[in-house]
């Protein structure tokens, strides 16, 4: 089945630094990738949608200059949290689809726990 | 504006019995509904989905029912097993925007 690899699984960084999270589709071409954020005991909140080769579409309230998304190839998308602050600490999850949205078509990565100190 | 809601934050069921997880939505434009299982510090794992034109879909121990007039869907797990203990999210797909909107999740605990 489709596999999405997300790296790193956890990262601790200092305030003011930037952190990059990678999301790779291992055995399929991901035409669209999604980035979510999950707060403790809360739902997954969609941050942005990215299509290969074009600019990401950000959800309302998400700062595009803070959360930089690059989807340079059909198998790789990156999320860079710039000038991180403690309030950016969260669980970030990527998802990829090759176009079939009926269920298995949306494959999720294992998530990245970001802690900003 | 929470378009997908799971009003029960937690549910405890005895092993072997039926688990029923509920989900309500407000947007009639959703064209597909999906259920995901999630463990802490992991990404969601797909369980089962249903098209908005269907009212039931079954896959092994998992059955999803959709009541469009009530904008309500439910996931039935029978028989429940201890390994089913996790957080379950329902999600709704918007065809035009091609994205998923998640509910708030229900933590299922299956006891021995």
Name the more confident of B71 and A27: B71
| Token pair belonging to B15 | 């092993």
Per-residue pLDDT averaged across B93-105, rounded? Answer: 85
Q: A70: which DSSP letter?
A: E
| Token pair belonging to A111 | 């998530």
CA B2 to chain A, closest CA, distance in angstroms equals 10
Using the Cβ of A39 and the Cβ atoms of chain B, whether some distance falls under 8 Å is answered with: no
Residues of A in contact with B100 (CB under 8 A): 34, 46, 95, 101, 106
Q: What pLDDT does residue A103 have?
A: 58
At B41, phi and psi to the nearest 5?
Answer: 60, 25
User: Among B28, B42, B27, B47, which residue's Cα sits nearest to residue B88?
Assistant: B47
Chain-wide mean pLDDT for chain B? 94
User: Among A31, A26, A21, A30, which residue's Cα sits nearest to residue A3?
Assistant: A26
pLDDT beyond 70 at A104:
no
**DSSP letter string, B26-55:** --TTEEEEEEEEE-TTS--EEEEEEETT-S
- Cβ of A95 within 8 Å of Cβ of B100? The answer is yes
- Cβ of B89 within 8 Å of Cβ of A91? The answer is no
Q: What is the C-alpha separation between A93 and A9, in angstroms, rounded?
A: 10
Number of residues that this document lists for chain A: 117
| pLDDT 10s digits, B23-76 | 999 999 899 999 999 998 889 999 999 999 999 999 999 999 999 999 999 999
Question: How many inter-chain contacts (A to B, CB under 8 Å) are there?
Answer: 64
Q: What pLDDT does residue B58 have?
A: 97
- CA-nearest residue of chain B to A100? B98
Residues 6-65 of B with CB under 8 A from A: 9, 32, 34, 36, 41-46, 48-49, 51
- Cβ of B93 within 8 Å of Cβ of A49? The answer is no
Q: What pLDDT does residue A81 have?
A: 97
| pLDDT 10s digits, A57-68 | 999 999 999 999
Residues 64-103 of A with CB under 8 A from B: 91, 93, 95, 97, 101-103
Beta bridge partners of A34: A49, A95
Three-state secondary structure of B64-107? EEEECCCCEEEEEECCCCHHHCEEEEEEEEECCCCEEEECCCEE
Q: What is the C-alpha separation between A112 and A92, in angstroms, rounded?
A: 5
B89-A24-A66 Cα angle (round to 5)? 75
Q: What is the C-alpha separation between B12 and A111, in angstroms, rounded?
A: 26
- Cβ of B103 within 8 Å of Cβ of A106? The answer is no
Q: What is the C-alpha separation between B42 and A112, in angstroms, rounded?
A: 8
């Amino acid at each position: 089945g489709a596999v999405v690899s997300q790296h790193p699984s956890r990262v601790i960084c200092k305030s003011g630094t930037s952190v990059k999270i990678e999301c790779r589709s291992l055995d399929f071409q991901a035409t669209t990738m999604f980035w979510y954020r999950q707060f403790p005991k809360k739902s997954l909140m969609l941050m942005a949608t990215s299509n290969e080769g074009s600019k990401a579409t950000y959800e309302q309230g998400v700062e595009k200059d803070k959360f930089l998304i690059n989807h340079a190839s059909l198998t790789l998308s990156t999320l860079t949290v710039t000038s991180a602050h403690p309030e950016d600490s969260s669980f970030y999850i990527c998802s990829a689809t090759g176009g079939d949205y009926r269920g298995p078509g949306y494959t999720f990565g294992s998530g990245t726990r970001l802690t900003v100190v | 504006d929470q378009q997908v809601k799971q009003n029960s934050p937690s549910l405890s069921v005895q092993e072997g019995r039926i688990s029923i997880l509920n989900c309500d939505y407000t947007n009639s434009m959703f064209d597909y509904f999906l259920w995901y299982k999630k463990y802490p510090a992991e990404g969601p794992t797909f369980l089962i989905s249903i098209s908005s034109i269907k009212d039931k879909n079954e896959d092994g121990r998992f059955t999803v029912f959709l009541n469009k007039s009530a904008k309500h869907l439910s996931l039935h797990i029978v028989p429940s097993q201890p390994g089913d203990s996790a957080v379950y999210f329902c999600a709704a797909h918007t065809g035009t925007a091609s994205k998923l909107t998640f509910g708030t999740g229900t933590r299922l605990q299956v006891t021995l």
